[in-house]
Amino acid sequence: QKEVEQDPGPLSVPEGAIVSLNCTYSNSAFQYFMWYRQYSRKGPELLMYTYSSGNKEDGRFTAQVDKSSKYISLFIRDSQPSDSATYLCAFKRGTNAGKSTFGDGTTLTVKP
Amino acid sequence: DTGVSQDPRHKITKRGQNVTFRCDPISEHNRLYWYRQTLGQGPEFLTYFQNEAQLEKSRLLSDRFSAERPKGSFSTLEIQRTEQGDSAMYLCASSPDPSETVGNYNEQFFGPGTRLTVL
């Protein structure tokens, strides 16, 4: 069983829709929960990170972490065509950890 | 402001050949990471350095793979006797030390990757 499972997609939504992206994980040691966006032929870029449980909001993006269920989500409000990309969840054990463990990504297309 | 750079961007080689990739991190970052990403999958951790010390290696990093960061600046990743299964995007990232960041979270900044094709 993989440490991280990400809803595979692909996902296609009309402009303005609310998008929900989700991951589950099995490693209780994870303390940092991240979402990256990756455009085609580019490296991933960090969108948001959360430490421990709870919600975090940044503009149109909201990240939620439920450690009891080992479940994280990213919500995108008022989605735009420029949001079209692959979204990767990622996890890290602690402050000093080097390794990040990534999901396999969900490809999102927002149609104008 | 220069980000993480990788060279070459693309490499095509024949099975059995050796290849070497270079990564130049953001200059003030003392941590450097290598990941491998195949089509339809997320990046898989290979190894990371703090300054010139290699602190962690994945089991994915077989004997054919070696990484160095001799002066704590740029890094090289060498693959010997390449196999078709080595075809992938090789991503490099850098970050500051956690103790030097607000809230102790050290964001990893990724380069554009080197795409390797083994024929």
State pLDDT tens for residues B55-88: 999 988 889 999 999 988 999 999 999 999 999 9
**A15–chain B nearest CA distance, Å:** 25
Can you say whether the dihedral through the CA atoms of B35, A91, A35, B109 is positive or negative?
Answer: negative
For A29, the token pair is 């040691």
For B109, the token pair is 């900044």
Name which of B76, B73, B27 is nearest B50 in CA terms. Answer: B73
Among the partner residues B45, B104, B110, nearest to A44 by beta-carbon distance: B110
Average pLDDT over residues A32-50: 94
Q: Reply yes or no on whether the pLDDT at B93 is more than 80.
A: yes
Residues of B with CB under 8 A from a CB of A: 4, 31, 33, 40-45, 48, 50, 55-56, 58, 91, 93, 98, 103-105, 107-113
Q: What is the mean pLDDT of chain A?
A: 94
Query: For residues A24 and A4, what is the distance between their CA atoms, to the nearest angstrom?
Result: 6
Please state, in angstroms and as integers, the Cα–Cα distance from residue A17 to each residue in A82, B27, B56, following that order: 13, 40, 42
pLDDT tier at B1, thresholds 50, 70, 90: low
Among the partner residues B44, B103, B112, nearest to A43 by beta-carbon distance: B112
Name which of A71, A63, A30, A29 is nearest A46 in CA terms. Answer: A63
* Amino acid A74: pLDDT: 97
Query: Going edge to edge, which strands form the sheet with A71-76?
Result: A4-6, A19-25, A71-76, A61-66, A54-58
Q: Please list every residue in chain A whose beta carbon sits closer than 8 Å to the beta carbon of residue B111.
A: 43
Q: Reply yes or no on whether the pLDDT at A13 is more than 80.
A: yes
pLDDT digits (tens, 9 = 90+) for B4-27: 999 999 999 999 999 999 999 999
